[in-house]
């Protein structure tokens, strides 16, 4: 399963939807004399400059949603929160702008605002000062609460943090709430800068005005740092206190989902204490999920946590039969419950990941292959099928899946992302085929020709990663001539891009593969 944000138990590779944002529907008046109630969010699609112009006129902050049509958590938002009448009404307090990562100029905006992963929601004042940001994959109720607070904010979050670190006693309760709600996991060092984020969060934990916030910052600090270096006793006391408080479990649900097992492992003194603390974690998650209806996707998330706990005691081999049965049951239930395009895009990769973690690669492949026939973005699942083929030693099939994924990918940034995956697969699986490697890389560079100002954010990051892998490949496979050709090809693009854009002069692509 591929995640968007980074790594973690439920954010594992690059979770990627089958549907574009829905067209805002016109509101209808419920009765004479009442204001019409919007039936959909009135997104401005890609018009960021226009959104800020309207913000300056109206005085409302901008709510910028950064997503992609293939992103599973993005589709979870579209399937649920973005259809919630209360949330739709809340967005009326903002100028809401939907910025798809494949829209023209989107990667440049993403770089300007330091967006790290899909989905992210950022609140900015009319002068483009950031008031807060939240990770879109978090609990819907928590997102709504955090954005409700942000709608009335006028202080930049950077100023709030600076004051918290220098004079914490001068912050009011709302200031602390904003810092606690802030999406540190999608921060990309916007707030921390050159400082270590985990150290900042631990400092906030020491200054927070109440115990729940103290524990929230301490958990975030552990997640941002090296859990294995934290004192086991402190981790155990922190984890037990959080798990005993239902409201804190709800607030930290996603963090506990993807880092809870690592916390249990660090906090435990041996198998018996691991089993006890792991059981406490699972029961706490179940209570939190039951409070919002124990949806099939939540149950699927919990069984992934249960698999990871089991793997602490038995890293290899088959899972206990009852747990393996539970995995299959949870996958089947989630699969059956996901009936719309958004719901399926939000679910299928997680289900396939659960099956793979349970050791059932055959069932995972069957699920993914079946989804190719249903999905509007089948290319999203093909790299996962390539991973499965590679795992069973079928290099030819793995390369073919990666090639098909690249050929089918839609959107300029997405095509670069999938093209890089294809070239990386060639480097790994057929490193002796320099001709194909050069041709495929040249084709990916050519993707940039249609977007002269597109060498930003995720696109730039993927090219930089590819450059490192090409250089490593060249050192082992006498690829100096290939690299020279590719540098020349990129320089051709950069010279055209520099002439076509008024800012950035090619945005740094001239340095690609140099040195």
Task: List pLDDT tens digits, range 65-101.
Answer: 999 999 999 999 999 999 999 999 999 999 999 999 9
Is the predicted pLDDT of residue 437 greater than 90, yes or no? Answer: yes
Is the predicted pLDDT of residue 307 greater than 70, yes or no? Answer: yes
pLDDT at 507: 56
| Cβ(78)–Cβ(17) below 8 Å | yes
- Per-residue confidence at 320, pLDDT binned at 50, 70, 90? very high
| Tally of structural domains, the chain | 1
Least confident residue range of 166-170, 191-195, 485-489:
191-195
Interatomic CA distance for residues 331 and 370, integer angstroms? 14
pLDDT in tens, 345-375: 999 999 999 999 999 999 999 999 999 999 9
Average pLDDT across the chain, whole number:
89
Q: Give 138 or 18, the one with higher predicted confidence.
A: 138
Asked whether residue 501 is domain-assigned, the answer is: yes
pLDDT at 47: 87
pLDDT in tens, 452-488: 888 998 999 999 999 999 999 999 999 999 999 999 9
- Per-residue confidence at 2, pLDDT binned at 50, 70, 90? very low
Provide the residue range defining the domain that includes 414: 410-515
Asked whether residue 72 is domain-assigned, the answer is: no
Q: How many CA atoms lie within 13 A of 354 on its CB side?
A: 29
- Per-residue confidence at 316, pLDDT binned at 50, 70, 90? confident
Is the predicted pLDDT of residue 165 greater than 70, yes or no? Answer: yes
| Three-state helix/strand/coil letters over 228-291 | HHCCHHHHHHHHHHHHCCHHHHHHCHHHHHHHHHHHHHHHCCCHHHHHHHHHHHHHHHHHHHHC
Distances (CA, A) of 58 to 42, 92, 98, 121, 122: 15, 12, 19, 20, 18
Q: Give 89 or 37, the one with higher predicted confidence.
A: 89
φ, ψ at 511 (rounded to 5°): -85, -5
| Cβ(423)–Cβ(397) below 8 Å | no
pLDDT at 272: 95
- Per-residue confidence at 324, pLDDT binned at 50, 70, 90? very high
Verify cis geometry, omega within 30 degrees of 0, for the bond prior to 21: no
Least confident residue range of 8-17, 84-93, 256-265, 385-394:
8-17
Asked whether residue 327 is domain-assigned, the answer is: no
pLDDT at 501: 65
Count of C-beta atoms within a 10 Å radius of residue 318: 11
- Per-residue confidence at 14, pLDDT binned at 50, 70, 90? very low
pLDDT at 464: 96
Asked whether residue 439 is domain-assigned, the answer is: yes
Q: Which two tokens stand for residue 308?
A: 């990871």
The mean per-residue pLDDT over the stretch 426-442 comes to 98
pLDDT in tens, 376-415: 999 999 999 999 999 999 999 999 999 999 999 999 999 9
pLDDT at 37: 66
Percent above pLDDT 90 for the chain: 77
Is the predicted pLDDT of residue 274 greater than 90, yes or no? Answer: yes
Asked whether residue 515 is domain-assigned, the answer is: yes
Interatomic CA distance for residues 458 and 20, integer angstroms? 20
Interatomic CA distance for residues 88 and 67, integer angstroms? 18
- Per-residue confidence at 328, pLDDT binned at 50, 70, 90? very high
């Amino acid at each position: 399963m591929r995640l968007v944000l980074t790594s973690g138990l439920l954010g594992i590779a690059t979770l990627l939807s089958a549907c574009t944002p829905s067209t805002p529907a016109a509101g209808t008046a419920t009765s004479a004399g009442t204001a019409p109630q919007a039936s959909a969010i009135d997104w401005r699609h890609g018009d960021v400059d226009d959104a800020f112009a309207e913000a300056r006129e109206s005085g409302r902050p901008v709510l910028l949603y950064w997503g992609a049509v293939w992103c599973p958590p993005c589709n979870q938002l579209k399937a649920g929160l973005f259809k919630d009448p209360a949330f739709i009404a809340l967005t009326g307090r903002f100028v809401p702008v939907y910025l798809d990562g494949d829209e023209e100029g989107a990667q440049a905006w993403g770089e300007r605002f330091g967006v790290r992963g899909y989905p992210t929601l950022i609140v900015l004042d009319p002068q483009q000062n950031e008031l807060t940001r939240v990770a879109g994959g978090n609990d819907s109720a928590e997102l709504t609460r955090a954005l409700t607070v942000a709608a009335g904010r006028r202080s930049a979050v950077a100023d709030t943090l600076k004051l918290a670190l220098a004079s914490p006693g001068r912050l009011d309760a709302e200031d602390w709430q904003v810092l606690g709600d802030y999406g540190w996991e999608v921060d990309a060092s916007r707030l921390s800068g050159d400082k270590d984020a985990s150290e900042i969060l631990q400092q906030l934990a020491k200054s927070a005005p109440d115990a729940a916030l103290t524990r929230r910052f301490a958990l975030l600090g552990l997640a941002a740092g090296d859990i294995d270096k934290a004192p086991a006793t402190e981790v155990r006391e922190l984890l037990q206190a959080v798990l005993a408080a239902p409201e804190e479990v709800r607030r930290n649900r996603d963090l506990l989902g993807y880092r809870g097992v690592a916390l249990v492992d660090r906090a435990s003194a041996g198998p018996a204490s691991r089993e006890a603390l792991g059981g406490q974690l699972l029961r706490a998650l179940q209570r939190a999920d039951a409070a919002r209806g124990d949806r099939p996707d939540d149950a699927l998330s919990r069984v992934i946590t249960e698999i990871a706990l089991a793997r602490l005691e038995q890293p290899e081999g088959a899972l206990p039969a009852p747990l393996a049965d539970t995995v299959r049951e949870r996958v089947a239930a989630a699969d059956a419950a996901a009936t719309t395009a958004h719901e399926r895009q939000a679910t299928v990769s997680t289900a396939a990941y659960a099956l793979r973690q349970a050791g059932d690669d055959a069932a995972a492949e069957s699920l993914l292959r079946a989804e190719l026939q249903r999905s509007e973005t089948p290319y999203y699942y093909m790299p996962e099928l390539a991973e499965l083929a590679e795992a069973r030693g079928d290099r030819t099939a793995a390369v073919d899946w990666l090639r098909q994924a690249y050929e089918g990918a839609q959107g300029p940034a997405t095509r670069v992302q999938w093209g890089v995956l294809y070239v990386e697969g060639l480097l790994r699986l057929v490193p002796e085929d320099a001709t194909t490697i050069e041709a495929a890389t040249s084709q990916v560079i050519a993707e940039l020709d249609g977007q002269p100002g597109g060498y930003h954010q995720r696109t730039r990051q993927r090219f930089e990663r590819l450059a490192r892998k090409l250089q490593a490949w060249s050192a082992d496979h006498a690829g100096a001539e290939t690299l020279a050709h590719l540098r020349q090809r990129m320089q051709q693009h950069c010279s055209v891009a520099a002439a076509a854009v008024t800012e950035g002069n090619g945005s740094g692509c001239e340095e690609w593969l140099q040195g």
